[in-house]
Structure 1
Amino acid sequence: MARKRRGRDISGWLVVDKPAGITSTAVVNKVRWALDAKKAGHAGTLDPDATGVLAVALGEATKTVPYITDALKAYEFSVRLGQATNTDDAEGEIIQTSDLRPSDDDIKEALHRFVGEIDQVPPKFSAVKVDGERAYKLARDGEDVTLSARPLWVEELTLLDRPDADHAVLQMICGKGGYVRSIARDLGNLLGCYGHVAWLRRTWSGPFEAKDGISLEQIDRLARTPDLDTYVQPIAVGLTELPELTCTPEAAARLRNGNPAMVVASGVEYGDECWVSLNGEPVAVGQYKAGEVHPTRVFVTP
């Protein structure tokens, strides 16, 4: 019989401004410990050396993770031109070099090729599974890893700064599943000079912004105190991409039991996905059909 996980039934979002040098999983574990939370997860992995928004979902908020994962995200990053590495970032071994350095205009022109619906091959050192094994484990063992291209929506890709001939600072706004390291690698190849990511920061993810994030130092200082609870944002923040409908207490009871119920609706059409609230608290997510919502996820809150 599985042992019941201890901890508080706390629900909501804690936005962490992740530092470099720690994994996303380690951040989640620290947040779970600091808040004595029974359940926690994150909405989108950051590489250990990347910084910025890591949105940690607690309790019932974990049911809204897919809506943050699917939302647009923004990254600022520096591409080191003239060098390719086996990991496509600064941690890897340099495998190719070039003395060619593109102009600013060359870079801006090339960036157009990476906007819109593109096909992207993930880095060999990534968590993508190949025959049940993580690609990075196979790559570390010296195996020749071949990964298939995946579609990615890139909303924007712009040149922010050119501090020197060897570096270009870019901003990318993209959808789910984007690898910044692949952008740097493919941009360098297109320009004929090679390239890899020197540093990377996720500045926002859906409704969450890095400037509003709490640091690990603050988490350590406030751990296991009520003061840390004040940084936890409501579950509903994770549902801002969906239209909100309201309901009566009677309808809320039906929805929480997994049954369709009448709602107060405006601005939605038959089949739209939406979320239902009672007194501002989330009750369920589901499909709107002819005055009713048919729930697909329900929230159990105090």
Structure 2
Amino acid sequence: MGRKRKGRDISGWLVVDKPAGMTSTAVVNKVRWALQAKKAGHAGTLDPAATGVLAVALGEATKTVPFITDALKAYEFSVRLGQATNTDDEEGEVIASSDSRPDDEAIKAALGAFIGDIMQVPPKYSAVKIDGQRAYKLAREGEEVEIEARPLWVEELVMTDRPDPDHVTLEMVCGKGGYVRAIARDLGEALGCYGHVAWLRRIWSGPFEAEEGISIEEVDRLAHTPELDAWLRPLEDGLEGLPQVSCTEEGAVRLRNGNPGMVIARDVEYGDECWAAHKGRAVAVGRFKGGELHPSRVFNTGPLEG
């Protein structure tokens, strides 16, 4: 018999404005400790040097993580022109340099090639797995690794500032699996001057915005208090990108038990993925078929209200 996990049965989202120098895993562990939660996870890793939105899911909200991971995200970042590093950011060693500095018009013209459906090769120092091992581990051991290009949807990539000849500030909106460091590297190559990320901030991720996030200092200060609980956002926020249907108490009971349940749906087509709510509370995610929701994920967040 497995050992029972200690902690509170608490469900919801805590949006953290992650500081530089802290890993995403460390943020999750801090939040789990501060809220005394049984279960926690995050929706989309941020590099240790990066700042901004890290959405931490607690309890049953962890079942909605894939929907935030798949959602569009926005980043603001600075590219240091004239230098390539082995990690594609400021943390790495300079491996190539150039005295060439493109003007603003050349940079704006080059951005078009990085918008839409593109193929992107992740950085060698990334968590991508190669033959079962993380790329960054192989790179640190001095192994030459070849990483295959992966598809990425880039909704928007615009230049917002040029503080000096060596730096350009960009904003990007993209889909799942995008590496900002790879954008900086490839842009530098396209411009013939090399480039790497100087700083990076995720300004929003799906429905979560950095300006609404809590700092790690506040998480520490409010740990184990009702004031920190008040920062929690409902589990349902993680389902914002899916259409919603409603169900009766009888339908909710069937769904909770993993069975198809009758739902009332509008603007939902046969086979669509959606989520069912009973009196505003999420009951299940599944496929809509013939007036019923066939559940793939079920939420157990306490007794149903009659």
Q: How would you bin the TM-score normalised by the shorter chain?
A: over 0.9
Residue matched to 1:80:
80
Structure 2 distance, partners of 1:50, 1:2, is 37
Structure 2 distance, partners of 1:3, 1:100, is 61
Structure 2 distance, partners of 1:4, 1:120, is 43
Residue matched to 1:61:
61
Structure 2 distance, partners of 1:284, 1:131, is 36
Unaligned runs of 5+ in 1: none
- Give every structure 1 segment of 4 or more consecutive aligned residues whose post-TM-superposition deviation is greater than 3 Å: none
Residue matched to 1:141:
141
Q: CA deviation at 1:4?
A: 1.9
Work out the percentage of aligned pairs sharing the same amino acid: 74
Aligned length: 302
Q: CA deviation at 1:2?
A: 3.6
Residue matched to 1:226:
226
Please state whether the residue corresponding to 1:203 is helix, strand or coil: strand
Residue matched to 2:99:
99
User: Does residue 39 of structure 1 match 2:39?
Assistant: yes
List per-residue Cα deviations over 1:59-101 (Å, max 9, x = no partner).
0000000000000000000000000000000000000000000
List per-residue Cα deviations over 1:177-233 (Å, max 9, x = no partner).
000000000000000000000000000000000000000010000000111000000
User: Does residue 236 of structure 1 match 2:236?
Assistant: yes
Aligned Cα RMSD in Å? 0.5
User: Does residue 264 of structure 1 match 2:264?
Assistant: yes
List per-residue Cα deviations over 1:87-128 (Å, max 9, x = no partner).
000000000000000010000000000000000000000000
Residue matched to 1:195:
195
Q: CA deviation at 1:166?
A: 0.1
Please state whether the residue corresponding to 1:3 is helix, strand or coil: coil
Letter in 1 for 2:240: T
- Output aligned runs, 1:1-302, within 5 Å: 1-302=1-302
Q: CA deviation at 1:3?
A: 2.4
Unaligned runs of 5+ in 2: none
Structure 2 distance, partners of 1:261, 1:140, is 52
Letter in 1 for 2:150: R
List per-residue Cα deviations over 1:116-156 (Å, max 9, x = no partner).
00000000000001111110010001110110000000000
Please state whether the residue corresponding to 1:232 is helix, strand or coil: coil
List per-residue Cα deviations over 1:9-65 (Å, max 9, x = no partner).
000000000000000000000000000000000000000000000000000000000
Letter in 1 for 2:290: A
Letter in 2 for 1:199: W
Letter in 2 for 1:50: A
TM-score by length of 2: 0.98
